[in-house]
C-alpha cells in the first residue's frame, strides 16, 4: 500500500506570531520550514514565561525541527561594555542564562518534548558546535577586513548600548569594540551565514526581540 503523506504544517505566519522574511534568501529558507531557530535574548524582559510558552507551541507546530538560540555567554561582552567587572559580568550572564533556559525547558516539557535540553543552543552547546565555530570565524574575519561590515556591526552595538546608558551619553569606541562581540556571536545562525549548515543545528533565525531591558 502506498504510504500516506505527512500532514501539512500550518502556515508559520498564522497564529499568535507573524513571521516576516526580510530577504529573498530568507524567504526561500523560510518556505522550506525544515528548521526554525528562535532567538531568545537572556536580558530581555519581552521573553516572559508566558511568551516563551507561546513561542514554543507556535514553533513546534510550524517547523519540522526547532531550536532555541540563547546567546548567554556572549552577553558578557555587553555587560562589560556597560561597566561590569569581568567576573561580575560572567556571573550575571550565567545566572540570567540559566533563568532563561529554565523557562524554555519548562515550556518544551509542557509540550511533551522528551529531551528539552537538546533543543537549546546556548553558549555551552555552541562552544562545541563545529558549524557555529566555523561561521563565527568567518564573521570575525569579515569584521576585521570589511570596513562597511564593521561599521554596520558597531552601529547595531551602539544602538543597544545607547538604550542602557544615561540620557545624553554616547558609547565610547572602547565600549563599542567590547559590545560588538555579542552582536558578532548572534550572526552565525542567520540564513545568510548558516543556510547550508542546518543539519548541524543552525538555520532560520526567528528573533521576536533583542537587547537588554532598561
pLDDT band at residue 155 using 50, 70 and 90 as cut-offs: very high
Backbone angles phi and psi of 78, in degrees to 5: -65, -45
What domains can you pick out in the chain, each with its CATH number? Answer: 24-206 (3.40.50.11710)
Phi/psi at 70 (5° precision): -120, 95
Rounded Cα gap, residues 50 and 54, in angstroms? 6
- DSSP state for residue 21 in the 8-state scheme: -
H or E segment and range at residue 14: none
Q: What is the pLDDT of residues 101-128, one digit of tens each?
A: 999 999 999 999 989 999 999 999 999 9
The pTM of this model reads 0.79
On the 0-12 / 13-18 / 19+ scale of CB atoms within 10 A, 61 is middle
C-alpha cell at 50: 508566558
Number of helices (H), then strands (E), in the chain? 9, 4
Amino acid at each position: 500500500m502506498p504510504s500516506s503523506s505527512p500532514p501539512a504544517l500550518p502556515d508559520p505566519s498564522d497564529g499568535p506570531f507573524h513571521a516576516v522574511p526580510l530577504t529573498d534568501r530568507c524567504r526561500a529558507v523560510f518556505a522550506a520550514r525544515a528548521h526554525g531557530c528562535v532567538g531568545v535574548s537572556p536580558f530581555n524582559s519581552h521573553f516572559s514565561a508566558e511568551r516563551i510558552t507561546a513561542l514554543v507551541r507556535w514553533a513546534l507546530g510550524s517547523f519540522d525541527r526547532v531550536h532555541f538560540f540563547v546567546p548567554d555567554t556572549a552577553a558578557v561582552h555587553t555587560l562589560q561594555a556597560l561597566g561590569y567587572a569581568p567576573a561580575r559580568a560572567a556571573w550575571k550572564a550565567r545566572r540570567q542564562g540559566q533563568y532563561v533556559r529554565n523557562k524554555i525547558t519548562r515550556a518544551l516539557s509542557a509540550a511533551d518534548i522528551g529531551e528539552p535540553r537538546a533543543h537549546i543552543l546556548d553558549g555551552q552547546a555552541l562552544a562545541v558546535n563545529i558549524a557555529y565555530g566555523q561561521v563565527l570565524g568567518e564573521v570575525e574575519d569579515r569584521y576585521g577586513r570589511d570596513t562597511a561590515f564593521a561599521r554596520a556591526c558597531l552601529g547595531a552595538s551602539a544602538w543597544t548600548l545607547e538604550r542602557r546608558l544615561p540620557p545624553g551619553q554616547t558609547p565610547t569606541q572602547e565600549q563599542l569594540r567590547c559590545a560588538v562581540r555579542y552582536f558578532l556571536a548572534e550572526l552565525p545562525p542567520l540564513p545568510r551565514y548558516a543556510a547550508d549548515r542546518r543539519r548541524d543545528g543552525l538555520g532560520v533565525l526567528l528573533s521576536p526581540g533583542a537587547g537588554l531591558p532598561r
